Amino acid sequence: MTIQHTPTLDLAHLREQVTGDVLTPDDDGYDDARRLAYGGLDPRPAVIVRVRDADDVRAALAFARETGLEVAVRSGGHSSVGYGTSAGGLVVDVRGLTGLEVDPVRRVAWAGAGVTTGEYTAAVAPHGLATGFGDMGTVGLSGITLSGGVGLLARKHGLTIDSLLAAEVVTADGRVLTVDAEHHPDLFWGLRGGGGNLGVVTRLQLRLHDVRSFLGGLLVLPATAPVVAGVVDLALRAPRELTVIASVMPCPPMPFLPPEAHGRPVVLATVAWAGDPDEGRRVVDGLRALGTPVADLVAPQPYAALFPQMPAPPDPAPSALGRTLLRDSVDEATAGQVLDWIAASPGPMRVVQVRVLGGAVADVPPDATAYAHRDAPMMLNVASMYTDPGDRAAVHVAVTAMADRLRQGRPGAYVAFLGDEGPDGVRAAYPGGTWDRLAALKRRYDPENVFHLNQNVPPA
């Protein structure tokens, strides 16, 4: 259905059914509501429903069924291919679901699906507690959780899904279910890593972890092949209290970085040590010894300091292309390939990011959740941003070629970082029996594939 059909929709009836806002192209605030985190996409949904509870979601889905409108679910809006919206369709916008209840004694929290990771982390920080998410505070809680959640507490406390205790979800047929290990355990399994394939999550119950003893921050080192390989090797061998996300990239013009370093290749490492600070300092000193730091902000500080308030994105927002893969190691030869690519690749900002895994991530059996790559030592992401649409083809070729060069024969992908790879990419994220089990769940909970604007697993 296209935007020209909007006048025939019975929007008065929809507005009577929901307590949240219903926006069309004629309404104030529509353009702000449809804006995504990345540029290069200019979708114009027929209707945006800013839901305020699960009943609003039910009403929005019922309206979509009655009218034949395609359904998209919007949270943080960070999908690089725009899965949080639909041209001419209906967007269920959950960003208004911002309720947050924290029980510091039991160390659990109920959070609305529209809470961002930064808001959640700041809210629980006064209790000395945290749940591990990614490394960016603007990401929507539901999106990163349903994908798995590979973040700065991963080696100590596992993925975000390993801290997910329960969820409230609205299914395609309008049922509102509270799922956990005992209630609808099959659906609970699928929500933990299955992306947005199985329903609209409106609330999540998450376990909180003690992070009162924490050491972390940014460590920026000059990027040479020995330094890059050394950072990855040390992070792999370190105690599980250490998690490192290392980005090899041209030095960005951040105010705390010296101007003479801007544009030069660096390793921008986000370091997180969740444990005894004295031992943490000894381990981090090993990273520091790999090269003379360009900047060293690693210090005892609250975990929440790693999720600062982010400025509003530029307008127009830059476009991004990325590829994700799993690896066993990064040696100096591989690091040299990365540095050659950083130097020669088109795009104003390009990066090869290494997320070191293991530890608590690998403690969980591979079939316990829909995230199946528990034995992967590390995840690599090759990405580039650009502002001129005319550059997209060259950037696409460069990013894809580099990702292919870095593959070691280990299959797999992380669903949250997939772009436009299509069905093959989704199958890589969900190998073997994981795919079969998700497809069977899809047949049970969404047989008509209403929720297909995602890295889609069709019904079996």
Average pLDDT over residues 8-20: 92
Please name the residues in contact with 49: beta carbons below 8 A apart, sequence gap of 6 or more: 14, 18, 20, 21, 22, 23, 56, 59, 60, 63, 90, 91, 92, 93
Residue 39 maps to a domain: yes
pLDDT digits (tens, 9 = 90+) for 126-144: 999 999 998 999 999 999 9
Res 80: pLDDT? 86
Over 60: is that where the pLDDT of 1 sits?
no
pLDDT at residue number 235: 98
Residue 452 included in any domain: no
- Residue 200 placed within a domain: yes
For residues 156 and 25, membership in a common domain is answered with no
| Torsion of Cα atoms, 217 then 221 then 223 then 226, to 10° | -100
Instruction: Look at residue 312 and tell me whether its pLDDT is greater than 70.
Output: no
276 shares its domain with 176: no
The model's pLDDT over 44-98, given as tens digits with 9 standing for 90+, comes to 999 999 999 999 999 999 999 999 999 999 998 888 889 999 999 999 999 999 9
Contact 110, 100 (CB under 8 A): yes
Q: Which two tokens stand for residue 85?
A: 């919206």
Secondary element (H or E) of residue 327: strand 319-327
Determine, yes or no, domain membership for 455: no
Reading the block at residue 350, the tokens are 């390009």
Q: Give the per-residue pLDDT at 316.
A: 74
310 pLDDT band (50/70/90 cuts)?
A: low
What pLDDT is recorded for position 77?
A: 87
Number of structural domains (the chain) is 3
- Residue 435 within any structural domain of the chain: no
Same domain, 272 and 368: yes
Q: What is the pLDDT of residue 313?
A: 65
**pLDDT score for 346:** 80
On whether both 180 and 48 belong to a single domain, the answer is no
As a whole number, mean pLDDT of residues 5-28 equals: 87
In the predicted model, is pLDDT for residue 178 greater than 60?
yes
Q: What is the CATH number of the domain that holds 293?
A: 3.40.462.20
- 181 SS3 class: coil
Backbone angles phi, psi at 130, to 5 degrees: -160, 160
203 and 257 co-located in one domain: no
Shared domain for 108 and 137, answered yes or no, is yes
CB atoms closer than 10 angstroms to residue 127 = 17
What per-residue confidence (pLDDT) applies to 3? 41
Question: Peptide bond before 258: cis, by omega within 30 degrees of 0?
Answer: no
- Give the domain-ending residue among 187, 210, 233: 210
**Average confidence score pLDDT of the chain:** 94
Quote the CA–CA distance of 74 and 33 in Å, as a whole number: 10
Q: Do 367 and 292 fall within a single domain?
A: yes
**Same domain, yes or no: 267 and 414:** yes
**What's the domain range around 41?**
3-93
Tokens matching residue 411? 């299959």
How many Å apart are CA 47 and CA 290, to the nearest integer?
A: 54
Same domain, 311 and 412: yes
pLDDT tens, 331-390? Answer: 999 999 999 999 998 878 899 999 999 999 999 999 999 999 999 999 999 999 998 888
Say which range, 163-172, 312-321, 354-363, has the weakest mean pLDDT.
312-321
What CATH number does the domain containing 12 carry?
3.30.43.10
Tell me if 444 is assigned to some domain: no
Mark whether 206 and 243 lie in a shared domain.
Answer: no
> Does 175 score more than 50 pLDDT?
yes
Q: Name the domain boundary from 176, 210, 244.
A: 210
188: domain CATH number? Answer: 3.30.465.10
Residues 259 and 232 in one domain: yes
Looking at the fold, whether 154 and 172 belong to one and the same domain comes out as yes
In a domain, 448, yes or no: no
Which residue, of 53, 72, 93, is where some domain finishes? Answer: 93
- Nearest Cα residue to 31 out of 39, 40, 20, 42: 42
Q: Is residue 89, in this structure, part of any structural domain at all?
A: yes
